[in-house]
Amino acid sequence: MSNIGFAPDAKVRCRDYRIGAVGAGMIMAECHLEAYRLAEFQVAGIASRGRDRAQDVAKRHGIPVVHETPEALIADPAMDIIDIAYPPHLQPDLIRVALQQPHVKGILAQKPLALSVDEARALRDEARAAGKILSVNQNMRYDQSMRVLKQLLDRGALGDPVFAQIDMHAIPHWQGFLEGYDRLTLSNMSVHHLDVLRFLFGDPDEVTSVTRTDPRTRFAHRDGIVSTMLRFPSGLLALSLEDVWSGPRTEGYRDDQHITWRVEGTEGVARGTIGWPTGAASTLSYASTIETDGEWVSPEWDTMWFPHAFIGVMEQLQWAISSGEQPALSVADNVRTMALVEAAYRSIDDKRTVSLDLSND
């Protein structure tokens, strides 16, 4: 079945602003810049920690200017938007440099925004004081299956949500910088799923997380495999499971990396996959007593989370600058996701369920 009646991809409403890219790693080179090429966004310059790598990425994507340092790029008055793809321990300083520039109209930061919720709150407040739009790249909200699921939920096709689950067994091979952090999976990978559950269902009022170290890793860490249960005011339970050194991975074994999800409602069920680990499009199927007479229906699309979701992420920031509306991925909303992550760590430390009120953030 086609995707008639659904909008799996965001509409491009604005291409007016020149983008300065900070970073030249996998996420910037393979996702951000490829998405911007497809959307015909204006990328005016790039810089990274190493000029040679930035030069290579610039040549590949036809970027006209390569700066020696990220700070030099941010200071370039030709850049309207600063798009940062840097490790979270380095990102806050670059955000603060951008907030000081009169020519910078908007900043797109990676998640996690910072290494602590207190730092995230400080950046939120500093952006507000500077009168700058700071947006956070929670790109899973623009995955096609998540967008269509949200549309189903919003129109009541599944009735009242009862239970939801995201189950991840996949390896984010490009994040070598994580080896230096004491916080690992919750802060850097679960943040995708906890944020998208907030996008789908609103703010939870309870969180319970458990973890174990993962003996398949080659470095010391605190949270390896993580399972988090959220309870929402409606009674909805949502489970997020992350196994990010999934195996078997040794020579001679074929692994089965995957991310699956399922939502049960009083009037229907939706289920699907996130296609990123296998380089395929995400999928969704649903059966509804309201819309499909209980039959399974499977909308289809050709676009993928990586790279196409990054079109919507940058577009929502450009639209916010142009229209004066709040960005869909606002820093204020992201601080609530950061507060949820912090509460999950507190649950692990205290070995208990943690109550929370994210409206205080």
1 located within any domain: no
Residues 188 and 266 in one domain: yes
Residues 296 and 323 reside in one and the same domain: no
* Residue 50, domain CATH: 3.40.50.720
Helix axes 331-350, 191-201, angle to 10 degrees: 120
pLDDT at 184: 85
Tell me the helix, strand and coil percentages in the chain, rounded to 5. 35, 20, 40
- CATH number for the domain harbouring residue 230: 3.30.360.10
Tokens read off for 133? 């739009």
Q: Are 320 and 45 in contact (CB under 8 A)?
A: no
Number of separate domains in the chain: 2
- Please compute the mean of the pLDDT values over residues 242-269 and round it to a whole number: 87
105 pLDDT more than 80: yes
Same domain? For 192 and 276 the reply is yes
Residues 317 and 196 in one domain: no
The pLDDT score that the predictor gives to residue 250 is: 73
- Residue 12 inside a domain? The answer is no
Give tens-digit pLDDT for 206-243: 999 999 998 888 788 889 899 999 999 999 999 999 99
Instruction: Check whether residue 346 and residue 246 sit in a common domain.
Output: yes
Sorting pLDDT into bands at 50, 70 and 90, what band is 170?
A: confident
Q: What is the pTM of this model?
A: 0.96
227 and 344: one domain? yes
C-alpha span between 276 and 358 (Å, rounded): 30
pLDDT-above-90 percentage for the chain: 86
Residue 250 maps to a domain: yes
Smallest CA-to-CA distance from 127 within 146, 104, 111 is with: 104
Query: How many angstroms separate the Cα of 221 from the Cα of each of 216, 218, 229, 324?
Result: 11, 9, 22, 43
- 114/259 same-domain check: no
Average pLDDT in the 183-209 region?
A: 96
When pLDDT is cut at 50, 70 and 90, the band that residue 4 belongs to is low
| Domain match, 172 and 106 both | no
**How much is the pLDDT for 3?**
53
Query: What is the spatial distance between Cα 198 and Cα 196, in angstroms, rounded to a whole number?
Result: 5
Q: Quick check: 325 pLDDT over 50? A: yes
| 262/245 Cα distance (integer angstroms) | 22
Q: What is the pLDDT of residues 351-360, one digit of tens each?
A: 999 999 999 8
Verify cis geometry, omega within 30 degrees of 0, for the bond prior to 327: no
Burial of 75 (0-12, 13-18, 19+ CB in 10 A): middle
Decide if pLDDT at 161 tops 70: yes
Positions of E strands within the chain: 18-22, 42-47, 81-84, 106-109, 133-136, 161-169, 206-212, 225-231, 237-243, 258-265, 268-274, 283-288, 296-297, 354-355
What pLDDT, on the 0 to 100 scale, is given for residue 172? 76
- Same domain flag for 160 and 110: no
Asked if residue 71 is part of any domain, the answer here is yes
pLDDT in the model for residue 124: 98
Let me know if residue 120 belongs to a domain. yes
- pLDDT for residue 153: 98
Residue 178 located in a structural domain: yes
Q: Judge whether 299 lies within some domain.
A: yes
Residue 342 CA to residue 276 CA, distance in Å, equals: 26
Out of 167-181, 264-278, 288-302, least confident range: 167-181
Determine the pLDDT at residue 148.
Answer: 98
- Pair (78, 217) in one structural domain: no
Does residue 261 fall inside a structural domain?
A: yes
pLDDT over 70 at 26, yes or no: yes
What pLDDT, on a 0 to 100 scale, did the predictor assign at position 1?
A: 44
Please indicate, yes or no, whether residues 117 and 196 belong to a single structural domain of this protein: no
The reply to whether 352 and 245 lie within a common domain is: yes
Full residue range of the structural domain in which residue 213 is found: 142-305+338-360
More confident site: 343 or 182: 343
Q: What is the per-residue pLDDT for 272?
A: 98
| 355 against 177, higher pLDDT | 355
